[in-house]
Amino acid sequence: MPTLYESEVNKYGFGLSFNDTCIELHPKGMPNEVWLEIQHSEYEHYENPFVTKLCPLRNFKLIRHRDIEYTKKYAGRYVSKSWVIGYCKHNQKAAIKRSSEHEELMEITYEKREQEKLLEERARKQSRENAEKIHKTQKKRTGYHKGAEICPKCGGDALRNCNYCDGTGWVGFE
């Protein structure tokens, strides 16, 4: 069975993932963008219509190419390991470019998310401060009355000894 290791394609800007039957080559760090799919395992070989025999592959079998036209043309062909390495070498520049574009995009997305988090945090802080200001300038009145709300400290549990609502479960500001 032909084998291919990540370390053999890594230097050309490629990464690989594999399962029992296939190896997928992708620009480093982008496993969802498959540029070349090759079969490496045993396959079913029909010696005649009535006998199914498992034969070990001597070479890789090309399953899918990044280019649809190439796939149409070459799918099912057998390719040697050196052909696969050659493919990586040939596409080295493009793969590295794609990876770095992807990385940049991820960084931008990350920065944007961090920025949003910061703004959210600022907004939360502002509303907290506003709330505190209201509580400072307005007079607190405990006990049930019109406009009173369930005590935020004890959750209105008047059974508990709560200083904030004086154990009434209700707090209002006026």
Size of the site for Zn ion (CB under 5 A): 6
Nearer to Zn ion, 88 or 165 (CB): 165
**CB of residue 144 to Zn ion, shortest distance in Å:** 12
| Contacts of Zn ion in 31-50 (CB under 5 A) | none
Least distance in Å: CB of 28 to Zn ion?
58
Q: How far is the CB of 155 from Zn ion (least distance, A)?
A: 8
CB closer to Zn ion, 95 vs 151: 151
Residue (15 or 172) nearer to Zn ion, CB: 172
- Residue closer to Zn ion by CB (options 7, 161) is 161
Q: Shortest gap between Cβ of 132 and Zn ion (angstroms)?
A: 18
CA 28-29-33 angle, 5° bins: 85
Q: List the interface residues with Zn ion, window 106-165 (CB under 5 A).
A: 151, 153-154, 162, 164-165
Q: Which two tokens stand for residue 134?
A: 């209201």
- Which residues of this chain interact with Zn ion, rule CB under 5 A? 151, 153-154, 162, 164-165
